[in-house]
Amino acid sequence: MELTVLTVPGCPNAAVLEERLAAALADYPGAVVRRRQVAGEQEAAETGMAGSPTLLINGLDPFAAPGQAAGLSCRLYRDAAGRPARAPSVEDLRRPLKQAAADGQPAL
């Protein structure tokens, strides 16, 4: 399972994603997380970054909405009640991680 966290420099929500991702990865002690800072719109489009922070699992964003444009803007997620959140919850992160571990691809 390949994990990449994409952020813009100084992203205020990156630490929240990192903290929750670490908790979600407790069941995957061998998981390696790569981190990449994205500096331009073209790089955001090339990497599939739909705002900062973005988590890619095996190269795909399991939280992207269909047709969501790539970009450098601050990204908000939705919690179980539909409210804006700074990052996916630990439970929301566990679902695509479990699916990726089971079949090598994230659940979209």
Residue 81 has φ and ψ, to the nearest 5°, of -90, 0
The arithmetic mean of pLDDT across residues 77-87, rounded, is 95
- Assess whether pLDDT exceeds 70 at residue 106: no
Which H/E stretch holds residue 43?
helix 41-47
pLDDT the model gives residue 103 = 73
The arithmetic mean of pLDDT across residues 50-60, rounded, is 96
12-23 pLDDT, tens digit each: 999 999 999 999
AA letter at 85: A
Domains and CATH numbers, the chain: 2-103 (3.40.30)
In the chain, what percentage of residues exceed pLDDT 70? 95
- Assess whether pLDDT exceeds 80 at residue 61: yes
- Assess whether pLDDT exceeds 60 at residue 105: no
Omega of the bond prior to 53 within 30 degrees of 0, cis? yes
Computed over every residue of the chain, the mean pLDDT equals: 93
pLDDT the model gives residue 25 = 97
- Assess whether pLDDT exceeds 90 at residue 99: yes
- Spell out a b/e string for 49-70, using b for 16 or more CB atoms within 10 Å of the CB, else e: bbbbbbbbbeebbbbbeeeeeb
